[in-house]
Structure 1
Amino acid sequence: MNGLAMHLPILPVLLPLVAGIVLLVLRNAPLALQRGISLVATAALVPLAFALLATASDGTQLVYKLGNWEAPFGIVLVADRLAAWMLMATALVALFALLHALRGDDVKGRHFHVLYQLQLFGLNGAFLTGDLFNLFVFFEILLLASYGLLLHGGGRLRVKAGLHFVVINLIGSTLFLFAVGTLYGVNGTLNMADLAVRLARTVPENLALVETAGLLLFGVFALKAALLPLHLWLPAAYAHTSAPVAALFAIMTKVGAYSILRVTSLMFGADAGAVANLLADWLMPLALVTLVAGMLGAVAATALRQQIAYLVIASVGTLLAAFALDSVDGIAAGLYYLPHTTLAAAAIFLLADPIARARGERADRFEAGSAMPGAPVLGGLFFAAAIAMAGLPPLSGFLGKFMLLRAALESPWLAWLWSVVLVTGLIGVIALARSGSLLFYRTHSTSESLPAPHAADWLPAAGLLLFGLGMVIWAGPVSDYATATAAQLLHPQAYIDAVLGGRP
């Protein structure tokens, strides 16, 4: 392995950190320079993610030892198939969301580009870290940046939603520290590979402490993922922030889902001895209830952005239901569905912005209004995004759900999973059909002069939808990669050996 490949895992973390520091130093520089630095740094994450994806595709697990300290004593970054997959989804969403923000959202408050880069620093670090305490650190970094991004531009509803978001996540962070402290007190390590070895040897007198810490971790990750009943912070936060921030936040809930998958497969998997399959009795029922609640919220929504926020909650339920099957086919279905739902949700959040502006004072509320300028283009893109979010053919959401239903054939949850996924899918179609009808068809003539959308207003959303279409065109290679990733996760010994160097 050449020198550049060895340093690949640190670059997606280092690049946004350096860019954020430079932008902070240049906070009084011309706006064009700040935008250029932010755009170049964000765009560079795409080829970096592709390079890591290509490197990890043969099963290679790159381990980067900060300070050249050996694990478990030093901090490590680990780039395996799953981490590269998450980095790729993050880079694509971040690039197109930033392109949308350059239309003017970035000047509605202070330090947008600094916060944006720090958010990417936290996201990429969370996906790459091999240490549980540093997962907490990167969580805090991305959350601190998200507080500023959520409130960017101000407004009563935005500030109210932001305060709820801050308070809830501070409680989650406190519980995270309790869990981390308990695991360290019992095992003397927070390296996840080392924890996987030590948890498998948990002695009976420490079993209650370890199970409590594991369930606390699950609660924290469920909060980040907006799993029921810890989902109430999400609809207001996502519906009232700016469009590019909401689009970027589409990947933030996936950090919680990623953490659940990583921790359950590595630390509490089938080989974890007395704490094996710790979450097996919890994850599937909570995922299915979350899916139902999200779709019911989407039907009851009174505005487009609120509806999209509930659809994000529903997508989390679908995703975690796939992970809860705890099989290669089930996890592969979830990993295929994850980038699809992230790209689709981000696209429709970006699309809601020009739709709201083109409707004047009615914004994105589900009320009959005057015919909007640019309705053919906006309506066509909304139709494509709605198909993607509802999981209808021929787009990738249908393939993801088909893979999930097929994976459930041998599961004891077969009847429940099929019933909930199919019924909620129908509810989602009804909700989005109602939205499209109210926004684009139930119109009346008026003298109100409404601004026509420019191509730059909808091109970022169209770009994300094109990547979703690419997941259909190259469905074979993408699903093969997802299957290989699932198999790698369910056999974590290779990860443990790569991090610990094969030492006992």
Structure 2
Amino acid sequence: MNHWIMIPVILPLLLGAVLAWLSDERATLQRRLSLAGSLALLAVSLLLMQTANQEQVQIYSLGNWSAPFGIVLVLDRLSALMVLTTAVLAALVNGYACAGDDKRGRYFHALFQFQIAGICGAFLTGDLFNLFVFFEILLIASYALLLHGGGSQRLRSAVHYVVLNLVGSTLFLLGAGLVYGISGTLNMADIARFVQQAEGDSLYLMHAAGWILILVFGLKAALLPLHFWLPRAYASATAPVAALFAVMTKVGLYAILRFVTLIYAAEADAASAFDLDLLFAIALLTLLLGALGAFAADTLHSMLAWLVLVSVGTLLAGISLASEQSIAASLYYLLHSTWGIAGMFLLADLIARQRGKLAARLRTGPPLLTPARLGALFFVGAIATAGLPPFSGFIGKLSLLQSASGPYAAWLWPALLLAGFVVIVALSRAGSQLFWQQGSPLPEPVEPLQPVRFATALLLTGSAVLLLVAAGPVLDYCLTTAQQLLQPELYLKQLEGG
């Protein structure tokens, strides 16, 4: 067995426990340990990516107990890609937080590491119950991180977030219990095999359980009509927390993708009743709602929160088409949207720091201290986020549009193009108000632009350029990943030790 598969879970868990034990007087040591852990996770994720790209699906059975009794972690191309996405995001966001934002809460670094452990565990687990466990780890950490920095607005957002996710956790247990009661297992491979062979009432109950779990994953991903917690939560969070949360919705989408391509695989006769058209319709509605929300937003942070919904709808549209090309396009767009939106949240914080009491409100304000650098970065980020050429957002959306055919293309093209136009208008208006329509200078001095903060925002926002330059090999990897996902029989054989 490849023991490196355990590291993305074990490392942040142990490091989080150590960081929680350290006192406030050792803040410098906390930062060094947290950054070292994030960089180590990045190195391990690159190793796992290389391993997954060269070999078949790898299974790690904890305690050497085989399924369905043992807990298994699974490394394939998809899980390796998601862990790498998280590791890159964590390293850069952690660097931004160490420039001073981490001082606003005593246990920031410990909670940060616990959340990374939960996210990576959710991407690697091959067991439904442990997916629930890792969901709870990342959610508990996110509850506290959402309160980082204090304030009544963050408290209200956190209360709504906690209540809704408690309901989601209850439904998750209900769905998992129903699956176990029918199939006698919670191992995803065993569940998939059972669904392929089930008939009559057992099949109908498995589909009912599946839709309950899809509902839970939809809540985590903030799909319409379960989206209302996200704009307020993301807009009120501090910059590094909001940037880290850019990957949170992808956990729910990842779980939906696993269900669509493994447990309820499209080519399995038993899954014919599991209609993906409903998910496609929800995706388009979420996409359009996010664009309208961004257009109506009155602060830059709120607008970016709504743009997260645009990316969620776009990704779900590709997943619900369930073809090699659409899934590959979605995975490429996932990289773009996760890193790009995270960078925009950091950039929004840098802009707000130079506007005094007006902060990130989209109103005519004072001239910025460093308008050239911030304006150029906002320009690149806005073009990439809106999906205009030549950056990665355009490549991802174009690939997704080309993957649709027939009636799906007739719905996807106008929805995606209309949403893109609305987003362009919203971002153009925001840029004009922030950088062109300027009033009197502030009477008091503003905080200068810190090089570390600007560098991390630049790297995340500039990932659109990197993904453009490396579009060929990245798209090839995404296509190979989609092909692997749509061959569940190979996945099942590996998981079952066949």
Q: CA deviation at 1:71?
A: 1.8
Residue 430 in structure 1 maps to residue 425 in structure 2: yes
Alignment correspondent of 1:407 = 403
**Aligned counterparts of 1:267 and 1:446: Cα–Cα separation in 2:** 59
Alignment correspondent of 2:152 = 156
Alignment correspondent of 2:324 = 328
2:141 to 139, 145, 161: 145
Alignment correspondent of 2:4 = 8
Alignment correspondent of 1:444 = 439
SS in 2 for 1:369: coil
Counterpart code for 1:483: L
Counterpart code for 1:399: I
Q: CA deviation at 1:29?
A: 5.1
Alignment correspondent of 2:236 = 240
Q: CA deviation at 1:454?
A: 2.2
Change beyond 3 A, Cα 1:437–1:179: same
Residue 372 in structure 1 maps to residue 365 in structure 2: no
2:42 to 37, 46, 53: 46
Counterpart code for 2:115: Q
**Aligned counterparts of 2:273 and 2:395: Cα–Cα separation in 1:** 28
Deviations 1:34-75 (A, max 9, x none): 111111001111111111111111352121110011122200
Verify the 8 A CA contact 1:112 1:152 in the aligned structure 2.
yes
Counterpart code for 2:417: L
1:396 to 392, 395, 402: 392
Alignment correspondent of 2:59 = 63
Deviations 1:268-308 (A, max 9, x none): 11244333461412110000000000000000000000000
1:275 to 271, 292, 295: 271
**Aligned counterparts of 1:109 and 1:48: Cα–Cα separation in 2:** 28
Residue 305 in structure 1 maps to residue 333 in structure 2: no
**Aligned counterparts of 2:407 and 2:466: Cα–Cα separation in 1:** 34
Q: CA deviation at 1:76?
A: 0.4
Counterpart code for 2:374: L
Deviations 1:99-119 (A, max 9, x none): 111111111112111100000
Q: CA deviation at 1:388?
A: 1.3
**Percent identity (aligned):** 50
Q: Paired residues, what number? A: 497
Verify the 8 A CA contact 1:8 1:48 in the aligned structure 2.
yes
**Aligned counterparts of 2:81 and 2:349: Cα–Cα separation in 1:** 28
Alignment correspondent of 1:132 = 128
TM-score normalised to structure 1 length: 0.97
Structure 1 unaligned spans of 5+: none
1:184 to 176, 180, 185: 180
Counterpart code for 1:385: G
SS in 1 for 2:407: coil
Residue 341 in structure 1 maps to residue 337 in structure 2: yes
Structure 2 unaligned spans of 5+: none
Alignment correspondent of 2:78 = 82
**Aligned counterparts of 2:64 and 2:21: Cα–Cα separation in 1:** 30
SS in 2 for 1:370: coil
Verify the 8 A CA contact 1:125 1:135 in the aligned structure 2.
yes
1:481 to 470, 473, 477: 477
Counterpart code for 1:430: V
Verify the 8 A CA contact 1:196 1:272 in the aligned structure 2.
no
**Aligned counterparts of 2:58 and 2:457: Cα–Cα separation in 1:** 33
Q: CA deviation at 1:32?
A: 0.4
Verify the 8 A CA contact 1:325 1:411 in the aligned structure 2.
no
Q: CA deviation at 1:212?
A: 1.3
Verify the 8 A CA contact 2:344 2:381 in the aligned structure 1.
yes
SS in 1 for 2:60: strand
Alignment correspondent of 1:121 = 117
Alignment correspondent of 1:284 = 280
SS in 2 for 1:64: strand
Change beyond 3 A, Cα 1:77–1:276: farther
1:496 to 475, 483, 492: 492
Verify the 8 A CA contact 1:336 1:478 in the aligned structure 2.
yes
**Aligned counterparts of 2:441 and 2:395: Cα–Cα separation in 1:** 43
Alignment of 1:157-176 (within 5 A): 157-176=153-172
TM-score normalised to structure 2 length: 0.98
Alignment correspondent of 1:466 = 462
**Aligned counterparts of 2:430 and 2:462: Cα–Cα separation in 1:** 22
**Aligned counterparts of 1:276 and 1:24: Cα–Cα separation in 2:** 49
**Aligned counterparts of 1:279 and 1:144: Cα–Cα separation in 2:** 33
Verify the 8 A CA contact 2:329 2:400 in the aligned structure 1.
yes
Deviations 1:371-416 (A, max 9, x none): 01011111111111111111111110000001001101x2421111
**Aligned counterparts of 1:435 and 1:328: Cα–Cα separation in 2:** 37
2:29 to 30, 33, 36: 33
Q: CA deviation at 1:423?
A: 1.1
